[in-house]
Amino acid sequence: MLPIELETRRIRSFDDQELVYRVTSGTGPWIVLANGLGARLAAWHHQIAYLRDHYRFVTWDYRGLYGDEAKPLPDGVHPFASHARDLAAILQAESIERPIVLAWSLGMHVMLRAMREHDFRPSHIVLLNGTFQPDSGARGSLVKVRDRAVRALGHVDWLVEAVAQRAARSPEIVAWAQRFGMVGPTIDEELFNEVVAEFATVQAQPYLQHLAALREEDSSAALASIEVPTLVLIGERDPITPRAVAEPAARRIPGAEIFVVRGATHFTALEFPELVNLRVEKFLRERAGWATSAS
């Protein structure tokens, strides 16, 4: 697999904390990549590789989560609000106005926060496997079990780190993920292993803090306020945001194009990268026109 070259840049964010972000070279329109909670740059590899001849990408790691660059979250600030403020700082530093946004999972909440709280106005939006509601993946007693588990793990964060590190080193991780329905048989195993390997550096306490925030965040009501062309990709077998929840929520976005990927889970972009790339390209050609003019 060909490597993707990105330049690492650093700025001071709203609380004077150093913020690390990465950009690709080129002169095309900007695409902001808003990560999910479970992956970093590797999750976007296929989209960057396919679209980089016509677009520039900018992405950043959410604070507190991974490795040596895991800067602490500011006290008293909701984690999603912090990430939205970091995004605003990056856009200002790069003089980026009205970029396209590709948001995966939790990234949708970050984007909507930036729109509400910082007058962020993307030109076009692509949502992949959005986690629209706090109980999207479960109902009734399952919600209570999950919530209790998150609270309990908060007192044994060392255990979370130990399990994450062990899983990251396991050669059977893809097989186990497939067995439990977390990923499908078409998953890009090389990239998925890279995603999982990053969990060896996960910081458990802020990770659990993000899970707790995600459990409470409900962005479904804000979807109706989106006024730009939007494409929503839904995994037919997504256990995190089931189609039965995601599709009605996505229909709240005025004029949204909704595309259900058959057989896909929450890792749609790693399971069906060619399909995702072609659908995103079609959307941008028809609704933005930039890729056509740049060809």
Instruction: Identify the band that residue 205 occupies on the pLDDT scale cut at 50, 70 and 90.
Output: confident
Question: Which tokens sit at 55?
Answer: 């677009």
The boundaries of the domain holding residue 146 are: 7-294
H helices within 79-184, ranges in order? 79-94, 107-117, 141-153, 157-169, 173-179
CATH number at residue 242: 3.40.50.1820
Q: Residue 40 falls within a domain, yes or no?
A: yes
Q: Residue 272 falls within a domain, yes or no?
A: yes
Q: Residue 1 falls within a domain, yes or no?
A: no
Span 89-130, pLDDT tens digits: 999 999 999 999 999 999 999 999 999 999 899 999 999 998
Instruction: Identify the band that residue 210 occupies on the pLDDT scale cut at 50, 70 and 90.
Output: confident
| Predicted pLDDT of residue 135 | 53
Tell me the percentage of the chain whose pLDDT exceeds 90. 56
Mean pLDDT for the chain overall: 84
pTM score, two decimals? 0.87
Mean pLDDT of 68-91: 87
- What Cα–Cα distance (Å) separates residue 255 from each residue in 7, 48, 115, 231? 36, 26, 18, 9
Q: Residue 44 falls within a domain, yes or no?
A: yes
Span 136-189, pLDDT tens digits: 444 444 444 444 444 444 444 444 455 555 565 666 888 878 988 889 999 999
Could you give the number of structural domains in the chain? 1
